[in-house]
Structure 1
Amino acid sequence: MIDHVGLPVSDYPRSKQFYLAVMAAIDAGLVMEVSAADTGSEPAAGFGRGIKPDFWISPGTVGSPVHVALAATSRQQVDAFHRAALAAGARDHGAPGLRPHYHPDYYGAFVLDPDGHNIEAVCHCPEQHA
């Protein structure tokens, strides 16, 4: 159900060095880093095992809303999540669509929940054709 989690950190370079050290202790590491130009706001570092980042950090105010991505099994589920969230009172934070700066098949949608948390639904599958 949880695809990945993102935390705001007060000192991005310091936190990145911290997580590089602690992730190595559990056989994990930096899997991906994206620039502010890629995200449209702040850089982010994604840690995990293999090729998929499961734990992200980005500059922000500690205690700020967190980012949680829910795993969807299809692009249609991502679309349905976005519609349902908006109908339930969420604010749009990124319409459903491809985010190729993560990988070519990354299809996600973002909303801000009633408390301002950045909630995403994401599907990593290639587009399914009928």
Structure 2
Amino acid sequence: MLSHVHVGIADLPEAFAFYASVLTELGLALKFRDDAAGWAAWHRPGAARPLFLIGRPFDGEPAMPGNGQMIAILAPSRGAVDRAFAAAIAAGGTSEGLPGLRPHYHAHYYGAYFRDRDGNKLCVCCHDDPAAAPRD
């Protein structure tokens, strides 16, 4: 459904360190990093799209998070949610909701919420029934 998602950042090295630690825990691989252009992208190994990109805004204006905007990244397991959240906090992110079940969404929704160092809100979630999924 999606081709790519782009998250505005102010400082590529700082944002790259944050996202590299989080996205690695979700099984995503770096597709490219271009320091001159100020952007980087990750994808699922073996899949060309969708891409998760970070970069400076194209118009040259400061990056700003939007009110009510959030990107939710699918995790392969509940353990990956836990590890990605821990990586986000260790890399300077701030918690917006600890990992846990959110049964008001559906019975198996397990998610965590955090903001990156630029204030962008992200969710990492797993929708799988743990009884039917391999353990990690």
TM-score when normalising by structure 1:
0.49
TM-score when normalising by structure 2:
0.47
Higher strand share: 1
